Amino acid sequence: MMAADFYSPISRYYDLAFHGGDADLDLWRSESTGTSSILEVGCGTGRVLSELPRPARRVGLDISLGMLAGARERVAGQDVRLVQGDMRQMPFDDEQFELVIAPRGAYSHLLSREDLDSAAHELLRVCRGEGRVIVDIPDIRSLAQSITAQPSAEVDLPTKWIRTRSTTYRLEGTARRQSSGPVVTFDLSLSEERPEGRLTLATFSPATRVLDPLDVLGSFEATGLVRHARVVEVPRAQALGPRIRLFATRS
């Protein structure tokens, strides 16, 4: 099961609930400058895609029609192509893009080793020779360890309050993990605070893989399509939460 099932119920509220700032946008703009063609994998509502430099050919891929609808609104008037598809089997010919990126949490929804291997091959396959692939690897290992330490293998997440000019929203839930396995499931609820009481807007349960950066690196190196790959820790000033970033150059 992939992200379409997770985020369609929340797509109209996604930016409201999960906007954690734009600290990473300068890096994506910098990496994209001078690039003729860019593919963003897991483009969601287009937060990064809409900010990438022009006149590069920009394409966004996401498996969720709901999220793509949000992206379509955000990039209205821009020369951007949006495509529904799965990063494990992308609907593009070989060597189509000079730069392929997977920002934020897109890669963490690859729940099995087979998913990781398939995605690594696909990201490199559609990248041109000597082109680059950049993947964000959210680091939730400390959260996963804290869940496993609990008798119930479940922890309550801090409640997030979102206040707009006229409305207050509440995002709350739990995170759970099966024994010491690599998958953490978040059971989340977004509600609106009203004078007459709380109105639940959406409930959803995204599952994410606790990614070992060396496993991700190994999946790229095993494709035989990479000339050079490395993983680096991202300074907090350039990231939304703890994360590591993979840089790969296509052979």
pLDDT digits (tens, 9 = 90+) for 10-34: 888 888 888 767 888 999 999 999 9
- Do 97 and 133 form a contact (C-beta atoms < 8 A)? no
* Residue 141 pLDDT exceeds 90: no
The residue that leads in pLDDT, 52 or 236, is 52
Alpha helices (H) in 62-194, listed in sequence order: 65-74, 113-125, 141-148
Q: Which of 18-32, 134-148, 215-229 has the lowest mean pLDDT?
A: 134-148
- Pair type for strands 243-250 and 127-138: antiparallel
Average pLDDT of the segment spanning 134-162: 81
Other beta carbons within 10 Å of 185: 17
* Residue 143 pLDDT exceeds 80: no
Residue 1 pLDDT: 43
Average pLDDT of the segment spanning 90-95: 98
Q: Which of 47-61, 151-165, 226-240 has the lowest mean pLDDT?
A: 226-240
CA gap 220, 222 in Å, rounded? 5
Residue 123 pLDDT: 98
* Mean of all residue pLDDT scores within the chain: 89
> Would residue 119 be called left, alpha or beta, if left means φ above 0 and alpha means ψ between -120 and 50 degrees?
alpha
* Residue 222 pLDDT exceeds 80: yes
Q: Which of 37-41, 86-90, 206-210 has the lowest mean pLDDT?
A: 206-210
Residue 33 pLDDT: 93
Task: Determine the residue type at 173.
Answer: G
Residue 22 pLDDT: 82
* Residue 237 pLDDT exceeds 80: no
Among positive and negative, which fits the CA dihedral 22, 24, 30, 34?
Answer: negative
* Residue 180 pLDDT exceeds 80: no
Average pLDDT of the segment spanning 197-201: 92
Residue 242 pLDDT: 63
* Residue 250 pLDDT exceeds 60: yes
> Beta partners for 58?
38, 80
> Beta partners for 39?
59, 100
